[in-house]
Amino acid sequence: MTAANPLSRRRFLKVGGVAAAALAGGAWLLMRGGGDAHYRALCPGAAPRVLSTKELGVLAAFCERVCPAPGPSQPGARVLRIAERIDHELAFHTAQLQSDVKAALLLLEHGGWLHLSSTRFTRLSEAEQDACLARMGVEGNELERQVFSNLKLLALFFYYCDERTWQAMHYEGPFAARKAPEADSRVDAEAAHG
């Protein structure tokens, strides 16, 4: 008489299914956890239109790292509300583009899992965020590099479209007054015949 196999095929599938459900539930709780208070603090007073509060908070943290640091004549991304402006612009675009931006922000916030780190992007120190972004932009896989470069393009586009940033780079705007030339190159009629 043979002893019954304690791990039959049916039992293995049941145990595997329960374990997979537990892992999926745990991952969902980790990605969701913390509530909106943490993300709301990253973009105070914001009223998201397309993005969730979490997505807007992640975008705000990202914009602060890739846009120029605030200075005496240069406002920062938080003052200019770059993340909110991007969110409002997304309302005029297709559902596919909105979905792509949301997926990019999810990868940015939880992409540490790809590198065996469970710490979210927004929970890292500023120096750690800079290192994370440098790794994504240079050493990351193709998807990470695309996420980094496309989100950075969005952030910098909206940053430099704001007139308040122009003074710091001595740009007078697209419709600057035309200056008269210092020397007149026209030939004087009397001197030509003289």
Q: Which helix (H) or strand (E) holds 18?
A: helix 9-32
- Report the distance separating Cα 153 and Cα 159, nearest Å: 10
**pLDDT for residue 32:** 52
pLDDT, one tens digit per residue, over 127-186 is: 999 999 999 989 888 999 999 999 999 999 999 998 888 888 878 777 756 666 665 555
Cα 51 to the chain's mean position, in Å? 12
Domain boundaries, the chain: 32-165
Please give the radius of gyration of the chain, using alpha carbons only, rounded to the nearest integer.
Answer: 27
3-state DSSP percent of the chain in helix, strand and coil, to 5: 65, 0, 35
Q: What pLDDT, in 10s, does the model give residues 6-52?
A: 667 676 666 666 655 555 555 554 545 456 888 998 888 888 999 99
The Cα–Cα gap between 39 and 62 comes to 12
Residue with the two structure tokens 């980094």: 148
Its pTM stands at 0.72
CA distance 58 to 39: 7
The total number of residues written for the chain in this structure: 194
Phi–psi pair at 67, nearest 5 degrees: -85, 155
Distance CA 186, CA 72 (A): 44
Phi-psi region of 170 (alpha: psi -120 to 50; beta: other; left: phi over 0): left
